Amino acid sequence: MQLHDFPLSGNCYKVRLFLGLTGQRAEIITVNLAAGEQKQPAFLAINPRGQVPLLVDQGSRLADSQAILVYLARRYAPQWLPDDALQQGRIASWLSYAANELHHGPAAARVMKLFGRPGDLEATQAKARQVLAMVELQLGRHAWLAEGEAPSVADVANYPYLAMAGEGGLDLTPYPHIRQWCDRIRALPGYVELPHL
C-alpha cells in the first residue's frame, strides 16, 4: 500500500491516523505541495484532481480522504464502519460534514493563518465557530460523532481539523466536549501524533 502524502495536510493525516489506529502500514510518498508538485504532469497522471491524499492499494488508486477511510475500513477494519443502515447513514452524514463544513470553516482558517492563503479570515473563523458549536452540541449528547458505542471513521474524518483549530486562531476553551472527545481519540491504541510545523 502506498500513500501519496503531504506531512502538514490534515486530510493526509486522517489517513495516516487511521492506518495507525487499525495497525496497518503504507509506504509514504511525499508530494511537495509547496513546490506545486501535485499539479505537475507526473502526479496528474495518477490523480487528475491534483490533490493529496491518494492511496494506491493492490494496483488500484483512490483519491479523497473520506473515500480512503471508507475503503480501508471496508477492506481491513470493518468495525470502524458498522454494517447497519442507520449507523452507515450517520457516518456518511459526518463524512460529508468533514468535507464541507469543516473544510470551509476550521480547515480554511488554518490554511489562511499558517500558509497565508488569501481570504476573509474573520468571516471564515466566524463560520468555523458555528461548526465548533454544532459539534460541541453533538458531543455533549454522544461520546462518538455517529452516536455508536465505539469510534468510527466519522470521528477520524472530523478529528484533525477540530484538534488543530487553534492553528486557525480558534480557541477550544469554550468547547469542553470537543476537548474531551479529542482526549478520547488520543487515548486510542495506535494513535498517531498531529502534524507539527
Residues that bind ligand GSH (CB under 6 A): 6, 9, 11, 33, 38, 50-53, 64-66, 99
Nearer of residues 95 and 170 to ligand GSH, judged by Cβ = 95
What is the strand order of the sheet 27-30 is part of? 27-30, 2-5, 54-57, 60-63
Nearer to ligand GSH, 49 or 176 (CB): 49
Task: Report helix, strand or coil for 63.
Answer: strand
Q: 72 or 189: whose CB is closer to ligand GSH?
A: 72
Cell numbers found for residue 69 = 477511510
Rounded to a whole number of angstroms, the minimum distance from the CB of residue 6 to ligand GSH is 6
Q: What's the first-to-final CA gap in the chain, in angstroms? A: 26
Tell me the closest approach of the beta carbon of residue 54 to ligand GSH, in angstroms. 9
Q: Could you please report the per-residue DSSP string of 1-26?
A: -EEEE-TT-HHHHHHHHHHHHTT---
Asked if 37 and 31 count as a contact pair (C-beta separation under 8 A), the reply is yes
Residue with Cβ nearer ligand GSH (84 or 193): 193
Enclosing H/E stretch for 54: strand 54-57
Closer Cβ to ligand GSH, 161 or 181, answer by number = 161
Smaller CB distance to ligand GSH: residue 99 or 163? 99
* Residue 46 CB contacts under 8 Å (≥ 6 apart), including other chains: 4, 54, 56, 61
Q: Are 189 and 21 in contact (CB under 8 A)?
A: yes
